[in-house]
Amino acid sequence: MSLNQQATHLRHREGAQTGTKYIAIASGKGGVGKTILSLSIGRCLSDSGKKVLIVDADFGLSNVHLMLGITPQKNLAHFFYGDASFEEVIVRIGDNFSFISSGNGIYELAKLPKEQVMNLVRRLQELAEDNYDYVVFDTPPGIHDDTIAVVSAADFPVVITTPEPTAVADAYALIKIINRENETEDFYLVVNKVESDKEGNKVYESIRLLAERYTTAKLRHVGNIKYRKNLIRKIIEQNPFEKGFMEDVYNILSKMSPDVSPRRRSFWDSVVARLLGR
């Protein structure tokens, strides 16, 4: 199949209305709760009867498997290079709930010939959209091409921060760059480790005012997550689904409208275009 045929196929998939939605969890810096939020969103959605796939795209510091006490034998890189089938890289967490460790998967795509990239993405897109209602990406912290590519293409670009001044500044910087480089306007903001809703709302207002003044980004504050000491113990025990944290995440999801604007391209087409500079 030629490169043009591959691109046509992706556009056809875009118009197929598969119903699969993509959620990207991003942060300006590490240590703010990105991975635990990704997992908790996945668990909440799967508990609601949705089929969910978590993609651990934090290539340098992949840690979804560590939180779960699971050692995957294969990752997305094996799939891309033909060393494993899609089924072999999927690790089941529970009913309707699975995850994939990316290895160097998406990053390595940029090094492959364009026709091979399009073929691999087409296969992954078909498999993901034929089997899952939601695909949740736990992206690398900070401002990386991988993060920008995935977040700007997602239906739900979620930025998580904490009240720490450096985390707030880095969250705004991430939003500003993604908005400037990809014209992404709609972002969902979550403030973690707050002592009160008042503290979380203050963080939101500070980022919103900066975004309103210096960007075209529109922030939607979908909730705060309270600081809980016992969550650390749950993570150490490799059972990160703490009841109170999960309740906060359920409230966050209730504020994230399922009605999303049509994308100009499919999710996967947008990711490839960003990584290949087209």
| DSSP-based three-state secondary structure for 98 | strand
One pLDDT digit (tens) per residue for the chain, 278 residues? 333 343 344 344 444 445 899 999 999 988 898 989 999 999 999 999 999 999 887 655 556 666 676 777 888 778 777 888 878 888 888 889 998 887 655 556 556 666 766 666 777 788 788 899 999 998 888 887 778 888 988 999 999 999 999 999 999 999 999 999 888 999 999 999 999 999 999 999 999 999 999 999 999 999 999 998 776 666 665 667 778 888 999 999 999 865 545 455 677 777 767 666 65
The count of other CB atoms within 10 Å of the CB of residue 69 is 10
Strand (E) positions, the chain? Answer: 21-26, 52-56, 91-94, 97-101, 134-138, 156-161, 186-194, 218-226
| Structure confidence at residue 116 (pLDDT) | 66
| Structure confidence at residue 107 (pLDDT) | 59
As to burial, measured by CB atoms within 10 angstroms (0-12 exposed, 13-18 middle, 19+ buried), residue 262 is exposed
The count of other CB atoms within 10 Å of the CB of residue 227 is 16
C-beta separation of 242 from 228 below 8 A:
yes
Residue 156 Rama label (left phi>0; alpha psi -120 to 50; beta): beta
| Alpha-helix runs per DSSP H in 154-214 | 165-182, 197-214
Domains and CATH numbers, the chain: 25-258 (3.40.50.300)
The alpha carbon dihedral of 165, 168, 171, 177 has a sign of negative
| Structure confidence at residue 1 (pLDDT) | 38
Distances (CA, A) of 199 to 87, 188, 249: 44, 17, 17
* Sole residue written with tokens 């209602």: 133
Distances (CA, A) of 41 to 4, 89, 197, 215, 249: 36, 21, 20, 28, 6
**Could you report the per-residue pLDDT of 234-260, keeping only the tens digit for each?**
666 566 777 888 899 999 999 986 554
| Structure confidence at residue 129 (pLDDT) | 87
